[in-house]
Copies of this chain bind each other. A is one copy, B any other.
Amino acid sequence: MDSAPPAPPSSPSPWLPFESRRRARDEKREAVLRAAVQLFLEQGYHRVTLNEVAERLNITKPALYNYFRGKDEILFECWSMGAELVDSVITEINAGGGSGLAKLRKLVHAYAGLMATDFGASLVRFDLRDLTERNAGVARAAKKRIDTTFRKYISGGIDDGSIRPCDPKLAAFAIAGALNWIGHWYRRDGGLSPSEIADEFTVRLTEGLATEGRQQMTKKTPRAPQRRNSGRATTGKKRTGGGTR
């Protein structure tokens, strides 16, 4: 018979029922976040009790208070995990070169993929009003940074000629909205893989913006490649995402 404690379905907890509990503190902390984010997404923050979170980890509620100040802090930390993912994506894109359109496409692709992860989805499915005013402020700032990045890539693309003139603010809203919505409808057991979604959205959300979008038009390189060069001469190998579709 299975006298050994039955392993929980997925992402096994560091606290096995009666076993060695010698993991590092940070690992446990993160395990709490993984369990919590999953439950919060499944059932919604307000319907999840700390007892449930604890139970899923084979511990009891007060034990959670060794790692977090309270429920809202757990929520915030989950949210922050997602924000960090996005921030690192942005940092990486900024580090690389490319036209505004190329950067935008990279961002769209990576962001779409993130929306299919738990922490990524938490970014758009959690209600910031559940946080303390202080944490909500941090979160708002992070959102602002992300939004600004979208706009920056778009207006940068307009300047360098890779994107047709448009209102960067509304274009960013439209693109970010379509992406954020992924976090609401994506299901792991659905018919679509994250990479399929990311590939398709990268095309769909930028095809209307590109100056050289279809096979038509003069197929010349981006017209008048950046003359308003503010420093970094990123010319190099552009090839604005033309590839595989």
Binding site for B on A (CB under 8 A): 43-44, 46-47, 127, 129-130, 164-167, 170-171, 173-182, 184-185, 192, 197, 200-201, 204-209, 213-214, 216-217, 235, 237-239, 245
Contact = CB atoms under 8 A, between A and B. Distances in A.
Contacts of A180: 177, 181, 184
Nearest to A200: B170
A133 to B, nearest CB: 14
A107 B209 CA distance: 21
A182 to B, nearest CB: 7
Nearest to A164: B245
Contacts of A208: 204-209, 213
A166 B89 CA distance: 28
A177 B182 contact: yes
A179 B178 CA distance: 8
A209 B200 CA distance: 13
Contact of A177 (B47, B170, B179, B217): B179
A114 to B, nearest CB: 15
Contact of A204 (B130, B174, B201, B237): B174
A218 B130 CA distance: 53
Contact of A174 (B192, B205, B239, B245): B205
A177 B183 CA distance: 10
A176 B129 CA distance: 25
Nearest to A217: B214
A175 to B, nearest CB: 7
A121 B239 CA distance: 34
Contacts of A181: 173, 176-178, 180-181
18 contacts: A43-B129, A47-B129, A164-B245, A173-B181, A173-B182, A174-B205, A175-B178, A176-B181, A177-B179, A177-B180, A177-B184, A180-B181, A181-B181, A205-B208, A207-B208, A208-B209, A208-B213, A214-B217
A174 B166 contact: no
A238 B207 contact: no
Contacts of A173: 178, 181-182, 185
Name the residue in A127, A177, A179, A235 with the highest tally of chain B Cβ atoms < 10 Å from its Cβ.
A177
